[in-house]
Structure 1
Amino acid sequence: MYKDKEIAIRPIEEKDLSRLWELIYKEDAPEWKKWDAPYFPHQSMSFEKFMEIAPKWIGAESMWVITVHDDVFGIVSYYYEDDQKRWLEMGIVIHEGQNWNKGVGTRAFKLWRDHIFNTIPLTRVGITTWSGNKRMIRVALKLGMQLEGRIRKVRYYEGKYYDSIRMGMLREEWETLKNEKVNQE
């Protein structure tokens, strides 16, 4: 578990599954999906169907819950781009709109980035988003990530083309930020 005052990230526990189903799969068109790759389909599923796949989420290293005062607000996750496991992409979803624009995502994503660098021997971590998700781009910049790639007009949503955005941070950049913070304290 990693904490920043009232915000924590931690592995998923059985007690979280009902809330995660409610946040992720209860609705066909949840508000969060408008920002998290909305050009890919999302389908609701019954709680019973979710519980067939949910046990593999418990204790998974690649997906944790975000809590605020012990209430589940969302998830952080990562995946590898290929089998060499040198290219890791991380993600975050704060599922309910009333919890956006309050700094929760930035703080939780920083904890997740730090967890990844602290526990996985990687040279780089990154994110992939789309140019329509300005909040995600701002969060990545706040974390010290740099724009590494822009693939123009490859995401199509609501009659408009958007760019795919790749941002990343090298371990040495993370270590420099960490050392600067220590020196400021």
Structure 2
Amino acid sequence: MAENIIIRPIKKDDLHTLYAMMHDKKTGIPEWKKWDAPYFPYKRPSFRSFRNQILDGMVEGMRYLIINAGQIIGMVTYYWEHRSSNWLEAGIVIFNPDYWSGGYGTKAMYLWIDHLFATLPIVRCGFTTWSGNGRMMKVGEKLGMTLEARLRKCRFYNGNYYDSIRYGVLREEWLEQKGVLYDKLFGNYSHSHFNSSTFTKDVLDNPQKV
């Protein structure tokens, strides 16, 4: 059940399991890749290359695992679009299709966005997807994010053109709505657990801490 969703940092012990889930030799192009920017060619990396990439991101906490009932089901990420402006983009991948369309992605993305606002001096959090991925667009809508941009017919995949889509939410918007969102997604909202407004202001005032 999606109520058991948590996110946590990647550990070295996770790397072989994660690699097998993402880049199974038997499946050719993984099913998840058909929805995650499939217009970019897929090339299966070696384990060494994969490990080095993940380890580099672990230092800054740029990738977390999505765990459901103790099992890895996906990963959330972020990257800097323009670091000096504190502009980042978030991402999410659920590897196993059995966990698609069950609310897992929305809940994991909620936890990730809340974590990013609580730990980084950002004033906005967003993600980019494409019009062929309706599930990802629904995640943005369910989380109260704004459709900030639609670049029409700029992605070409399987003989068709698709739009590039951008969703975003500002820090003040997130702080205002996150309690209501949490109640809808997880149940009763706990102010003591999610009252991060003081901490996030401190992060903004003291960016050297992060």
Q: Same fold (TM over 0.5)?
A: yes
The CA deviation at 1:41 is 1.1
**Residue of structure 2 in register with 1:13 after alignment:** 11
Identity %: 46
Relative distance call for 1:48 and 1:153 in structure 2 (3 A) is same
The CA deviation at 1:98 is 1.0
Taking the TM superposition and a 5 Å limit, the aligned residue runs for 1:57-76 are 57-58=57-58, 60-76=60-76
Rounded Cα–Cα distance in structure 2 between residues aligned with 1:130 and 1:139: 13
The CA deviation at 1:8 is 1.0
Taking the TM superposition and a 5 Å limit, the aligned residue runs for 1:17-166 are 17-27=15-25, 28-58=28-58, 60-166=60-166
Give the alignment's TM-score, normalised by structure 2: 0.79
The CA deviation at 1:123 is 1.1
Work out the number of aligned pairs and report it.
182
Relative distance call for 1:51 and 1:165 in structure 2 (3 A) is closer
Give the alignment's TM-score, normalised by structure 1: 0.89
Give yes or no for contact 2:127–2:167 (8 Å, CA) kept in 1.
yes
Rounded Cα–Cα distance in structure 1 between residues aligned with 2:53 and 2:178: 37
**Residue of structure 2 in register with 1:174 after alignment:** 174
The CA deviation at 1:179 is 5.1
CA RMSD of aligned residues (A): 2.1
Rounded Cα–Cα distance in structure 2 between residues aligned with 1:54 and 1:182: 29
- Show structure 2 runs of 5+ residues with no match: 190-210
Corresponding letter in the other structure for 1:105? G
- Show structure 1 runs of 5+ residues with no match: none
The CA deviation at 1:96 is 1.1
The CA deviation at 1:56 is 3.0
Corresponding letter in the other structure for 2:34? K
Rounded Cα–Cα distance in structure 1 between residues aligned with 2:34 and 2:119: 32
Rounded Cα–Cα distance in structure 2 between residues aligned with 1:133 and 1:66: 20
Rounded Cα–Cα distance in structure 2 between residues aligned with 1:86 and 1:107: 24
